[in-house]
A and B are shown apart, each in its own frame.
Chain A
Amino acid sequence: MLFELIVSFLILFGAAFVLLGSLGLAKLPSFFMRLHGPTKASTLGVGSILLASAVYFSSRGSLSVHEILILVFLFLTAPISALLMARAGIHRELPGDNPRFGDNDRDGDKD
């Protein structure tokens, strides 16, 4: 009973934040602002859904810790995809936040 309460709370909590993330993606006006939605949803939202899964499977028998590994890999990779998208946005000089360019920055950016 207690476990069910915890699990349902975590799932609802996570789902709410994933929903907020997608809402942000749909609603915010510029590319750079939209970037905030998905990177956030994958932290707290997916985090608590995975935690719910861990609690649920641990409560019925054997300890389940796979989810922590999923979380770690997600946290390692999410910032990288966000960084790549943001860099592409800066390169294309997408409107929204008037990126300021440093003097020799763009030439050195061939990596």
Chain B
Amino acid sequence: MRRILPQPLLSLVLLVSWLVINNSIHPGSIVMGAIVALVIPWITHRFWEIRAGVKSPVALLGYLGIVVIDIIRANFVVARQVLGPNRALRSQLFEMELDLEGALPVSILAATITLTPGTVSCRISPDQSRLWVHALHADDVAEEIAEIKQRYESRLMRIFGQTDQRTARSSSTPGTES
């Protein structure tokens, strides 16, 4: 099984993408999509240092739902801030410590911060332990950090099965530390 499907999740994503591009679930498309889903991971397996390592797909779906709702909700907040006077805005660049580990989870967190309005992630420190975030308007930086941690980071840690800082550190694989 591992030989045929080295990365089941990648294969599934490729198959679904192929069907969506073709806009059909015609048997022909499914066969072609299956070929794509089998051949591409096989050809590119050498490039894949990072494995997705999703421990809880259900939590991942829940996370996606929360992000979509936040995008819609917070867009209105930013709309009001953009339309209001510039003077009222207190934009700040701040740095936050991450408990989350691994290249992929940190990238997802950074992308989430950028997509949810009001904050843009600006920089990930080389050792991936800190993230720089720019907020368009932040009254209290500590509060902002606490919200990101509680709303997104804790959920991502659950998705990738990182329960505690120490256990996550000791069990991290070499591939995720680069």
B74-110 toward A: CB 8 Å interface, digit per residue (1/0)? 0100110011001001011101000000000000001
Query: Is there an interface contact between A79 and B114, defined as CB atoms closer than 8 Å?
Result: yes
Selected contact of A36 from candidates B20, B72, B118, CB within 8 Å: B118
| B173 CB-CB contact with A under 8 Å | no
- Restricting to A95-111, which residues have a CB under 8 Å from any CB of B? 96-100, 102, 105, 108-109, 111
Query: What's the Cα separation between A28 and B122 when bound, in Å?
Result: 18
Query: What's the Cα separation between A68 and B23 when bound, in Å?
Result: 11
When A36-B78, A43-B71 are in contact, do A90 and B115 touch as well, CB less than 8 Å? no
Query: Is there an interface contact between B117 and A90, defined as CB atoms closer than 8 Å?
Result: no
| B57 CB-CB contact with A under 8 Å | no
Selected contact of B126 from candidates A65, A89, A111, CB within 8 Å: A111
Query: Is there an interface contact between A63 and B23, defined as CB atoms closer than 8 Å?
Result: yes
- Candidate in A39, A44, A47, A97 with the most chain B CB atoms within 10 angstroms: A44
- Restricting to B120-178, which residues have a CB under 8 Å from any CB of A? 120-127, 130, 132, 134, 136
Specify which chain A residues have a CB less than 8 angstroms from the CB of B23 in the assembled complex: 62-66
Specify which chain A residues have a CB less than 8 angstroms from the CB of B132 in the assembled complex: 86, 90, 99
Query: What's the Cα separation between A111 and B8 when bound, in Å?
Result: 30
| A56 CB-CB contact with B under 8 Å | no
Query: Is there an interface contact between A102 and B125, defined as CB atoms closer than 8 Å?
Result: yes
Specify which chain A residues have a CB less than 8 angstroms from the CB of B121 in the assembled complex: 79, 82-83, 86
B side interface size, CB within 8 A: 36
Specify which chain A residues have a CB less than 8 angstroms from the CB of B117 in the assembled complex: 36, 39-40, 43-44
Query: What's the Cα separation between A65 and B22 when bound, in Å?
Result: 9
- Restricting to B1-52, which residues have a CB under 8 Å from any CB of A? 17, 20-21, 23
Closest to B73 in A: A44
| B111 CB-CB contact with A under 8 Å | yes
Query: Is there an interface contact between B114 and A82, defined as CB atoms closer than 8 Å?
Result: yes
Closest to A20 in B: B79
Query: Is there an interface contact between B115 and A32, defined as CB atoms closer than 8 Å?
Result: no
Query: Is there an interface contact between B86 and A99, defined as CB atoms closer than 8 Å?
Result: no
Specify which chain A residues have a CB less than 8 angstroms from the CB of B120 in the assembled complex: 32, 35-36, 39, 82-83, 86
Query: Is there an interface contact between B92 and A97, defined as CB atoms closer than 8 Å?
Result: yes
CB-defined A-B contacts under 8 Å, sample of 12: A27-B82, A28-B86, A32-B122, A35-B134, A79-B113, A82-B120, A83-B123, A97-B92, A99-B132, A102-B130, A105-B125, A108-B125
Other than the known A23-B82, A79-B111, what 9 A-B pairs have Cβ atoms closer than 8 Å? A32-B120, A32-B134, A36-B118, A39-B114, A40-B117, A44-B71, A66-B23, A69-B21, A86-B134
Give residues in B with beta carbon < 8 Å to A.
17, 20-21, 23, 71-72, 75, 78-79, 82-83, 86, 89, 91-93, 95, 110-111, 113-115, 117-118, 120-127, 130, 132, 134, 136
